[in-house]
Amino acid sequence: MDFGLILLVLGGFLLGGAWSIWRSDDDSKGRTGPQVAFAVVLLISALLASASGILRLV
């Protein structure tokens, strides 16, 4: 299995985690600061892993 495909799968997994954290908000409070920060960190990690995977495949 090529390492680029593994990075793409990892990027998709991290993107799903970021989306899951972004969706889980409290009805009365909304999203908390740490929740937004963790979702942004996961999103950046997902984008970097996906870009690295695409570049490894090219």
Backbone dihedral angles phi then psi of residue 27, each to the nearest 5 degrees? -65, -40
Number of alpha helices (DSSP H) and beta strands (DSSP E) in the chain: 2, 0
Q: What is the pLDDT of residues 9-54, one digit of tens each?
A: 999 999 999 999 888 877 677 788 888 899 999 999 999 999 999 9
Q: Where are the domains of the chain?
A: 3-23+34-57
Local confidence band at 1 (pLDDT 50, 70, 90 cut-offs): low
pTM above 0.75, yes or no: yes
